[in-house]
Amino acid sequence: MSRFFHLFFMPIVKNPKDLLMDAYNGGYALGAFNVNNMEITQAIMMAHSAQKAPVVLQLSSGARKYANTKMLVDIIHSIAEQYPEVPIIIHQDHGADFETCKSAIEAGFNSVMIDASHESFAENVRITKEVVTYAHAHGVIVEAELGKLGGIEEHVSVSEKEARLTDPDEAIQFVQQTGCDTLACAIGTSHGAYKFSSDGKVDVARVIKLTEVLPGLPLVMHGSSSVPQEYVTMCNQYGGDLKGARGVEESTISEAVKYGISKVNIDTDLRIVMTAIIRKVFFENPKEFDPRKYLGPARDEIQKMVEHKITVLGSAGKIRK
């Protein structure tokens, strides 16, 4: 499929910024779900079609390497044809450098994240600006990151905490200097299934402050899986070991969304649901070896979980008429 076709194929939206601004202005968030294969993509799309919600389908560099970029983009286009009413943003998750973002744009993504958050402020600005210039010239939007993701526990000192989390004054400078469209902020969440020890928390007050100093700028929350305990229990019950796995409370996510988070990144929850169901099928049917018999139920359960997330984020029924 050519890029020309992508531009005129409606579900992959031509103005991705509009979807984010609709979310920002409407007080809800777009779910940004990581896709790695056909079943996960189908489940996410079926859920968004059922709930009439716009969606961000995001591909990490790991996903692109695992499944092949063109393969995943073609899967998305093919599934999108079945659900033409669902507006889609195809997004590069955590692009490590300019080349990663450029290749994503060439592959038909309409949104990229440049994550140079581990660099110095000046270098982060320089790299992000380079990506913004290229992306905007191609009608593609850019998410950038400032601050460092990581669980903030009670034992972390105030100065250490301040050094990691997104600083509002720096954020103003960063957005002005880079022209990024959205900002991923560090507010105490981390990637994966083990986000906090018992005393961990998310700094929602920082979201309020960031929204105050950056009016009109959609903020992005990474590490937003809630690690649903029913699926953790299921994994553990059927031979897994995910003891101590813990995510962000869904009530905290809804609160953060209320105060200006417009894109919420979720990957771990998809993985846990898929693993839990596959473990259960194998445990209960040791003779089973037809992949459709375990990938199918996993797909159904992911759809159910994603439909629930859509209600947490408030994006149900938000497809523009």
Among the listed residues 93, 167, 267, 269, the single catalytic one is 93
Q: Which option in ligand 13P, Zn ion, ligand G3H, none does residue 266 bind, with CB closer than 5 to 8 A by kind?
A: ligand 13P
Choosing from 1, 7, 10, 62, the residue that interacts with ligand G3H (CB under 6 A) is 62
Closer Cβ to ligand G3H, 62 or 84, answer by number: 62
Q: Minimum distance between the CB of residue 94 and ligand 13P, rounded to whole angstroms?
A: 6
Q: Minimum distance between the CB of residue 279 and ligand 13P, rounded to whole angstroms?
A: 19
Torsion of CA 156, 162, 165, 167, to 10 degrees: 170
**Residues 276-305 within binding reach of ligand 13P (CB under 6 A):** none
The single residue listed with the structure tokens 């199918």 is 296
Closer Cβ to ligand G3H, 313 or 319, answer by number: 313
Q: Minimum distance between the CB of residue 30 and ligand G3H, rounded to whole angstroms?
A: 16
93 flagged as catalytic? yes
291 binds ligand G3H (CB under 6 A): no
Q: Which residues contact 15 (CB under 8 A, 6 or more apart)?
A: none
Task: Give the CA distances from residue 29 to residues 55, 164, 167, 274, in Å, rounded to whole numbers and listed in that order.
Answer: 10, 24, 22, 24
The runs of H, that is alpha helices, within 138-247 are 158-164, 168-178, 204-213, 229-237
φ and ψ at residue 184, rounded to 5 degrees: -80, 125
Burial of 5 (0-12, 13-18, 19+ CB in 10 A): exposed
Task: Give the CA distances from residue 7 to residues 47, 101, 103, 138, 305, in Å, rounded to whole numbers and listed in that order.
Answer: 24, 18, 17, 11, 31
Closer Cβ to ligand 13P, 114 or 281, answer by number: 114
263 binds Zn ion (CB under 5 A): no
Closer Cβ to Zn ion, 23 or 149, answer by number: 149
94 binds ligand G3H (CB under 6 A): yes
- Nearest in space to 203 (alpha carbons), one of 151, 141, 245: 151
Binding site for ligand 13P (CB under 6 A): 34, 93-94, 191-192, 222-225, 265-268
Binding site for ligand G3H (CB under 6 A): 34, 60, 62-63, 93-94, 191, 267
